[in-house]
């Protein structure tokens, strides 16, 4: 009973101390924020002037810069530009930048000590097994950001390719109803959410700020890198160059995209038996053999 009261008293005292410290920090932060709003205010001491800088800029920014420098040293030349292009193709997930990817790779590189503590002392895995587990976790921490980014890029490309036939059908209906191409595209992207609609809206914004339709379409092709969309963009560029009817081009492209999607579905259906072969041979057939031949083998062994 005495130990329980002591534990409760210690917990209450800890909570009170934490509350007092938090209040003190909150008051200081509020004062510093008010002082930052005064442009002409100057602190008398160097330490006070440095304390006006936010905590993130004083603590986390140097750490992030150090990890970025470390990641730049262990990555090959040209990796930064390639990663920037991949981030654009992936739709800039979570506002991540190429420098942020470098920081993640640097953090993965220095995470070896953490994995040693977790595996050896936390999980109790020692010896060769522990070394293998640490090496796998270390490699996953270093290569993981690139693998996740590549997965995002491929997933976005597939989503764009799947959405393209539906958007083309709506564009055909809108253009044949009398709307211009930009107006029809604006109306269609507002009705159909998705990554392709986002890219088309960005293309429309580029046209509105002064870019030509050809330049905006080429920029769209560079951002997405989808073969089906590239074929549509080339057809639109040819229609602009030779004065062909846009409605006819859109109808032709919509029919072609439907045929391509049907062929892609048939290709996946033809690949299914080959993909099912390994699970059948290594998972289902052994279980069937055990169920069918097991009783017979037991009887034969009993007779012998």
Share of the chain above pLDDT 70, in %: 75
- C-alpha 67/C-alpha 137 separation (Å) is 19
Residue 74 has pLDDT above 60, yes or no: yes
Tokens of 172: 């055909």
pLDDT of 124-153, one tens digit each?
A: 877 888 888 888 888 888 888 888 899 999
Are residues 191 and 167 in contact, defined by beta-carbon separation less than 8 angstroms? no
Residue 20's pLDDT band, with cuts at 50, 70 and 90, is very low
Residue 63's pLDDT band, with cuts at 50, 70 and 90, is low
Q: In sequence order, which residues have a C-beta less than 8 Å from that of residue 31 and are 6 or more positions away?
A: none
Tokens of 194: 């998705």
Domains of the chain: 55-90+97-154 (no CATH), 157-263 (1.20.81)
pLDDT of 147-177, one tens digit each?
A: 889 999 999 999 998 888 889 888 888 888 8
- Three-state secondary structure call for residue 274: helix
**Sign of the torsion formed by the C-alpha atoms of 55, 60, 61 and 66:** positive
Q: In sequence order, which residues have a C-beta less than 8 Å from that of residue 216 and are 6 or more positions away?
A: 203, 204, 206, 207
Instruction: List own/partner pairs for 172-176 with CB under 8 A and 24 or more apart.
Output: 172/247, 172/250, 172/251, 172/254, 175/246, 175/247, 175/250, 176/247, 176/251
Residue 59's pLDDT band, with cuts at 50, 70 and 90, is low
pLDDT of residue 205: 92
**Alpha-carbon torsion, ordered 224, 230, 235, 238, to 10 deg:** 80
pLDDT of 31-56, one tens digit each?
A: 555 544 554 444 444 455 555 555 55
pLDDT of 191-233, one tens digit each?
A: 888 899 999 999 999 999 988 888 999 999 988 889 888 988 9
pLDDT of residue 155: 92
Helix boundaries (H) for the chain: 2-36, 46-51, 55, 61-74, 79-89, 98-109, 112-116, 127-176, 181-191, 195-208, 213-224, 227-242, 246-279, 285-303
Are residues 221 and 230 in contact, defined by beta-carbon separation less than 8 angstroms? yes
Residue 15 has pLDDT above 80, yes or no: no
Tokens of 58: 């004083």
- C-alpha 40/C-alpha 192 separation (Å) is 51
Residue 281's pLDDT band, with cuts at 50, 70 and 90, is confident
pLDDT of residue 24: 46
| Average pLDDT of the residues in 88-96 | 81
């Amino acid at each position: 009973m005495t130990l329980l009261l002591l534990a409760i008293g210690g917990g209450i005292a800890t909570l009170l101390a934490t509350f007092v410290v938090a209040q003190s920090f909150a008051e200081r932060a509020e004062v510093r924020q008010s002082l930052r709003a005064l442009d002409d205010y100057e602190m008398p001491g160097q330490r006070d002037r440095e304390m006006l800088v936010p905590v993130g800029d004083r603590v986390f920014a140097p750490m992030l810069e150090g990890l970025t420098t470390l990641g730049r040293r262990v990555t090959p030349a040209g990796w930064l530009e390639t990663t920037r292009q991949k981030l654009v193709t992936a739709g800039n997930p979570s506002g991540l930048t190429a420098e942020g990817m470098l920081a993640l790779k640097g953090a993965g590189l220095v995470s070896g000590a953490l994995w040693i503590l977790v595996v050896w002392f936390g999980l109790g895995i020692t010896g060769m097994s522990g070394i293998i587990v640490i090496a796998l976790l270390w490699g996953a921490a270093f290569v993981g950001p690139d693998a996740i980014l590549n997965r995002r890029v491929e997933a976005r490309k597939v989503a764009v390719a799947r959405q393209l036939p539906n958007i083309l059908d709506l564009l055909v209906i809108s253009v044949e109803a009398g709307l211009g191409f930009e107006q029809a595209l604006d109306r269609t992207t507002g009705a159909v959410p998705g990554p392709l609609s986002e890219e088309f809206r960005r293309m429309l914004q580029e046209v509105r700020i002064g870019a030509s339709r050809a330049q905006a379409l080429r920029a769209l092709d560079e951002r997405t890198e989808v073969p089906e969309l590239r074929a549509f963009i080339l057809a639109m560029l040819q229609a602009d160059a030779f004065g062909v009817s846009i409605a006819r081009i859109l109808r032709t492209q919509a029919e072609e995209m439907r045929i391509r999607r049907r062929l892609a579905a048939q290709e996946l259906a033809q690949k299914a038996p080959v993909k099912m072969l390994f699970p059948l041979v290594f998972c289902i057939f052994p279980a069937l053999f055990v169920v069918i031949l097991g009783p017979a083998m037991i009887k034969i062994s009993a007779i012998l």
